[in-house]
Amino acid sequence: MKVCVAGQGAFGQKHLAGLARIEGVEVVSLAGGSPDTTEAVAKQFGIPHWTTDLAESLDQRGVEAAILASPTQMHTNQAEQCMRAGKHVEVEIPMADNLTDSERLVRVQEETGLIAMVGHTRRFNPSHQWMRQKIKSGELVIQQMDVQTYFFRRTNMNAAGQSRSWTDHLLWHHACHTVDLFQYQTGEVASECYALQGPNHPELGIAMDMSIGIKVPSGAICTLSLSFNNDGPLGTFFRYICDNGTYIARYDDLFDGEENPIDVSGVDVSMDGIELQDREFLSAIADGREPNASVAQCLPTMQTLDRLEKSLNS
């Protein structure tokens, strides 16, 4: 299967590394934002064609699908562009930075009948897959999911510490991961939710600190703290407080409440959540089925984020 990738930054490179480990897929084109870095990344990963024009990548011979790791503000238009060109698409989280555009992507997917998936990596991390198996079997019931999403980003840089041309967002990007995972793991949509935020950064124009609370009808709650001001360990750390134990997930790794590691190596064919997400996308195309984390499945997450944004504005 021939695919193209959009985005030469930190997450574009994570996808390229994961795709390199998947048999039967060939990345034939890379579409990036700047010529110099796009060419360098294409050479690094042995990609025969590079461009700064996504349409040119989509037009390469044999391309069936696209993976978008471009700036958030480009996601909706590029995802629609791919589907209108007859290509299946996987768009990195979030599919949009507002509910209206999210609903538009769901409509385009329904019109075209193509596979359209969102990069909700937490659904695929072995740690969270292990927890889902226990929840689905009835061995565990979530009482509270306590989550910390912390970065030190007082300047505009990406996950690799490099300067970037667009601004990140705590609610529509980073909270999106946790809101989706909480609703996915509980199998319920938020019945109550609220959000608080600190002052906006004088130059970036975004809130640097945020607190979110969510409750689902069963009574389980999610407490989420987010910051771009944290000068310490970076990343997102999930504490599952359950009726039968406490578990701590750090990306692909899992620990019990006493910090003892839990072996999750047998959960899936890889220990790389992004690779597993890409495998699901490609498998859904081959099987002609709806993927886990399709745009339709992720729409309730965007609806909850919209409610949270409204609570901030009120």
Instruction: Tell me the CATH number for domain 122-264+301-313.
Output: 3.30.360.10
- Degrees, nearest 5: CA angle 16-22-27: 45
How far apart CA 210 and CA 201 sit, in angstroms, is: 13
pLDDT in tens, 104-130: 999 999 999 999 999 999 999 999 999
> What confidence score (pLDDT) does residue 161 get?
59
| Across 264-287, average pLDDT | 98
Residues spanned by CATH 3.40.50.720 within the chain? 2-120+274-291
> What confidence score (pLDDT) does residue 153 get?
73
How far apart CA 268 and CA 14 sit, in angstroms, is: 18
How far apart CA 223 and CA 134 sit, in angstroms, is: 21
Strands 63-68 and 88-92: parallel
Q: Are 222 and 178 in contact (CB under 8 A)?
A: yes
How much is the pTM?
0.94
How far apart CA 218 and CA 108 sit, in angstroms, is: 33
Q: What are the residues whose beta carbons fall under 8 Å from the beta carbon of 189, sequence distance 6 or more?
A: 183, 216, 300, 303, 304
> Per the structure block, which two tokens stand in for 64?
């069936």
Residues spanned by CATH 3.30.360.10 within the chain? 122-264+301-313
pLDDT in tens, 54-102: 999 999 999 999 999 999 999 999 999 999 999 999 999 999 999 999 9
pLDDT in tens, 230-254: 998 889 999 999 999 999 999 999 9
Instruction: Tell me the CATH number for domain 2-120+274-291.
Output: 3.40.50.720
User: Does pLDDT of 169 surpass 90?
Assistant: no
> Per the structure block, which two tokens stand in for 127?
């740690």
How far apart CA 22 and CA 196 sit, in angstroms, is: 42
